[in-house]
Structure 1
Amino acid sequence: MSSMFRIRLLLDFTAVGLIIACLAYWWRDNLSHELFGTALFALVIVHNVFNRRWYGAVSKGRRDATRVFNIVTIVGLALAMVVMLVTSVLISRDLFSFLALDGGFAVREIHMFAGYWVLLIIAVHLGTRWAVVMNACRTMFGITNQNLARTIAVRCAAVAIAMWGIRSCFEMAFGSKLMLTYSLDMWDFNESTLGFFVNYASIVGLCVAVSHYTLELVRSVNRSKTRASTPCR
């Protein structure tokens, strides 16, 4: 695994951390929020530069269910990021205040709405690449052999994270926020800052697990169909 790929992997996980930090608006002041957001958009640009060849190959090859799902995910992420970028400039109070609108309550609501969808879609997109991430981790730590105990431990950890993610979805009213439904919940950062980040990290883990194992199931079904349709010789 090349050092460039490791850097790309680190940048991707940093982007996830930044979007969660952006959601923690009341954790820091507005300037910090805008700096986190600007860094996030810079990482998105870098990510697209690294993966520019994908755009040239998107119309080539066979479009199975997995590839179509990946394309839809990336298009959805691009749209959500554009909405978040435009609205962030229009409501900026520090970095781009010269472009901001007066008031703009509706724009702020749309900005928050797009932010939660960006987190969801990034997590799903990460899930579609999780096999690559796991292979990269095996290479990084020099793991070459199969180990039943390690596999069980990793899968138990995935189940625990997913279960905590389900709990966190209710605690953070994540579903309501995705539906642009007004929510009265307000996280008390004086009580627990770590809890906020743990909850949203577990939601990301839940989305990663669901998308990864769903695609694995689809691939398994397709392989079974292919074997069943192949004539015996």
Structure 2
Amino acid sequence: MKPLFLFRLILDLLTVSLLLAAFAYDWFGNAAHEIIGTLMFVLLISHNIFNRRWYGVVANGWQEPRSVFSKTITLCLLVMMVGLLATSVIISQTVFDFLALRSSFTARQIHALIAYLVLLIAALHLGLQWSMIMRVIGQALQVETNTRIPTATLRGLAFLIALYGFQSLFVIDIGPKLRLETTFSFWDFEAAAVEFILRHAAIIALCVMIVHYSLRLLSFYRRYRRAPGITE
């Protein structure tokens, strides 16, 4: 494994970790929230620099279903990230306070909406690369994942985490947030700070599993259609 590739993977995982931390606004406070968000955007800029070749080929390969799916998710994530950055600057009270922009309750609601859309879409984007990530981690830890017992164990664990993530969608009340509804349910960080992070991480895992296994089913289907004797 090339050191640069491993470095890029660590930066990407750190970016996801900062995204998770940014949701704990009521725990860290506004100043820490803005600093965490700023660091996340710095890492996102580095991510785009490392993957700048993607912009040169984004117009190609729209006839292939997997390519269409992958590029659509990535473009949606790019748009949402721009929106998240714009609303962050508008409502900033610390990092960009010198700009003296006028904030509002609606702007903060839109910021929260986009933040959760980013969480979901970023998880889908992560799912596109999950096979590669697991292969790299397996090589780094020298773990053999091609045998039946480790594979079955990991899949069973992934299924349980996905169930926890599905339940967390309702516990976190993501639905009302995506509908811009005002709710009066607040998370008690003094009693369950770790659970808050775990539930958001489980939601990411759920989206990763959905994309990962959807791509596997698509691959199986394509091989089936190409098998001898299979006609339209």
Is the alpha carbon distance of 1:218 and 1:185 closer, same or farther for their aligned partners in structure 2, counting shifts above 3 Å? same
State whether residues 172 and 185 of structure 1, in contact with CA within 8 Å, keep that contact through their aligned partners in structure 2. no
Is the alpha carbon distance of 1:94 and 1:84 closer, same or farther for their aligned partners in structure 2, counting shifts above 3 Å? same
> 1:205 is matched by which residue type in structure 2?
A
Q: What does 1:131-170 align with in structure 2 at a 5 Å threshold?
A: 131-143=131-143, 146-170=146-170
Separation of aligned partners in 1, 2:14 and 2:20? 10
Cα deviation per residue 1:61-109 (whole Å; 9 max; x = unaligned)?
Answer: 4631111011111111011111110111111111111224334111111
State whether residues 120 and 207 of structure 1, in contact with CA within 8 Å, keep that contact through their aligned partners in structure 2. yes
What residue number does 2:59 align with? Answer: 59
Q: 1:145: how far off?
A: 6.7
Separation of aligned partners in 1, 2:145 and 2:26? 46
Separation of aligned partners in 1, 2:216 and 2:207? 14
What residue number does 1:216 align with? Answer: 216
SS of alignment partner, residue 93 of structure 2:
coil
Q: 1:139: how far off?
A: 1.5
Separation of aligned partners in 2, 1:144 and 1:201? 25
> 2:152 is matched by which residue type in structure 1?
I
What residue number does 1:199 align with? Answer: 199
Once structures 1 and 2 are overlaid, which stretch shifts more, 51-60 or 165-174?
Answer: 51-60
Separation of aligned partners in 2, 1:12 and 1:145? 23
* TM-score, structure 1 as length reference: 0.93
Separation of aligned partners in 1, 2:214 and 2:122? 16
State whether residues 11 and 43 of structure 2, in contact with CA within 8 Å, keep that contact through their aligned partners in structure 1. yes
SS of alignment partner, residue 121 of structure 2:
helix
Aligned length, in residue pairs: 231
Instruction: Give the root-mean-square deviation of aligned CA atoms.
Output: 1.7
Is the alpha carbon distance of 1:145 and 1:179 closer, same or farther for their aligned partners in structure 2, counting shifts above 3 Å? closer
Q: 1:220: how far off?
A: 1.2
State whether residues 91 and 104 of structure 2, in contact with CA within 8 Å, keep that contact through their aligned partners in structure 1. yes
1:110 aligns with 2:113: no
State whether residues 89 and 100 of structure 1, in contact with CA within 8 Å, keep that contact through their aligned partners in structure 2. no
Is the alpha carbon distance of 1:226 and 1:146 closer, same or farther for their aligned partners in structure 2, counting shifts above 3 Å? same
Where do 4+ consecutive residues of structure 1 move more than 4 Å? Answer: 228-231
State whether residues 123 and 205 of structure 1, in contact with CA within 8 Å, keep that contact through their aligned partners in structure 2. yes
Q: 1:228: how far off?
A: 4.5
1:188 aligns with 2:188: yes
Gaps of 5+ in 1: none
| Fraction of identical pairs, as percent | 38
SS of alignment partner, residue 33 of structure 1:
helix
> 2:59 is matched by which residue type in structure 1?
S
* TM-score, structure 2 as length reference: 0.94
Is the alpha carbon distance of 1:229 and 1:7 closer, same or farther for their aligned partners in structure 2, counting shifts above 3 Å? farther
SS of alignment partner, residue 25 of structure 2:
coil
SS of alignment partner, residue 8 of structure 2:
helix
> 1:15 is matched by which residue type in structure 2?
T
What residue number does 2:123 align with? Answer: 123
Q: What does 1:31-110 align with in structure 2 at a 5 Å threshold?
A: 31-61=31-61, 63-110=63-110
> 2:37 is matched by which residue type in structure 1?
G
Q: 1:229: how far off?
A: 6.8
> 1:179 is matched by which residue type in structure 2?
R
State whether residues 91 and 107 of structure 2, in contact with CA within 8 Å, keep that contact through their aligned partners in structure 1. yes
Separation of aligned partners in 1, 2:192 and 2:179? 26
Gaps of 5+ in 2: none
